[in-house]
Amino acid sequence: MELRQLQYFLVVAGELHFGRAAERLHIVQSAVSQQVNRLERELGVTLFERTTRTVRLTEAGRRLQPHAEQVLNAVTQARQAVEDLRIERTGTIRLGTSTGLGTRLEKLLVEFARLAPDAHLELANADADERIKRVRSGELDAAVLRGPRDESDLELLPLWSDALVAAIPARHDLAVLREIDLARLAELPLRLVARSHNPALYDLVIGCCRQAGFEPVLGPEFTTDQDTLAAVGFGQPSWTVYYATMAVRLTFPGVVFRPLRNPEPVMPSFLAVRPNPPRAELRALLSACHAIDS
């Protein structure tokens, strides 16, 4: 009995159609039929009732199906276990990141290389929910997250906090100030990412505006850096926010970045990991994260 025979059997059992099964497997229909026939001969039973119009599982097919699924699942798990061991032996850490880390990421790479010179750090960029999902499944060893979250099956280890700064038109009267009281932006439309895309950032900014005594006038949503900064710099007066660590790397004509106060919006970051004893490379990553907290 071959694994591919069980695989082909399960696909046909799922589709109940040899043609569609062949399309899913990206092979010709005759190859699917041939392997299923061989499996039937080996087992000495008929697995499918076939007519010109229908394909149905026999009682033998129904009894085989859960066992075939278990076999293929066990093979997948075995391969993953060996792959995990290979990754551990090569000293690779898979870290989920996001845009906006700015100089933090560069410092992290340098510090990790210093602490674990024989290890490798692989970066995977994805949205927060996807990063969490990959940490749970083991596809990622850890993920950087902004803002607190309730993830009871994972550990969220505090990292650093980043201040937000305002991006405003260079031609605006407030541009001459070194710092801006948040309340002074009350009359300007705020270009902010939708809450559905980044609830932590949205809630922080809106909450700080309310703390400063006003409900922000929401303008068009933040889309891309280029389009949003172009609108801030050359369109109707408006403002948006950036992490200070990212803003220091940005220049855009017609736009200036200014620190905020009263209150100063500050976003905490966390490292999400599975609640297992960390191996040496992951401990090095944790140490690198804390070393760059400045």
CATH number, residue 274: 3.40.190.10
- Please tell me whether residues 152 and 278 are part of one structural domain: yes
Domain end marker among 33, 65, 87: 87
- Model confidence over 194-246: pLDDT tens digits? 998 889 999 999 999 999 999 999 999 999 999 999 999 999 999 999 999 88
Q: Which of 60, 87, 114 is the last residue of a domain?
A: 87
215 lies in which domain range?
161-266
Checking if the pLDDT of 288 tops 60, the result is yes
Q: What is the pLDDT of residue 127?
A: 86
Tell me the HSE value of 31 on the side-chain side, using a 13 A CA sphere: 13
Confidence of residue 153 (pLDDT cuts 50, 70, 90): confident
CA 49 – CA 30 distance, rounded (Å) = 17
Q: What is the pLDDT of residue 57?
A: 94
Element (H, E) at 257: strand 255-261
Instruction: Reply yes or no on whether the pLDDT at 83 is more than 70.
Output: no
Q: What's the pLDDT at 252?
A: 93
What's the gap between Cα 102 and its chain centre? Answer: 17
Residue 76: pLDDT band by 50, 70, 90 thresholds?
Answer: confident
If we measure between CA atoms, which residue out of 173, 85, 124 comes closest to residue 272? 124
Judge if 153 and 273 occupy the same domain: yes
39: domain CATH number?
A: 1.10.10.10
Q: For 259, which DSSP code?
A: E
231 shares its domain with 279: no
Please give the tally of structural domains in the chain.
Answer: 3
Which residue's structure tokens are 């736009």?
A: 255
The rounded distance, in Å, linking the Cα atoms of 8 and 37 is 11
DSSP assignments along 26-59, one per residue: TS-HHHHHHHHHHHHHHHTS--EEE-SS-EEE-H
Residues 31 and 52 reside in one and the same domain: yes
Confidence of residue 250 (pLDDT cuts 50, 70, 90): confident
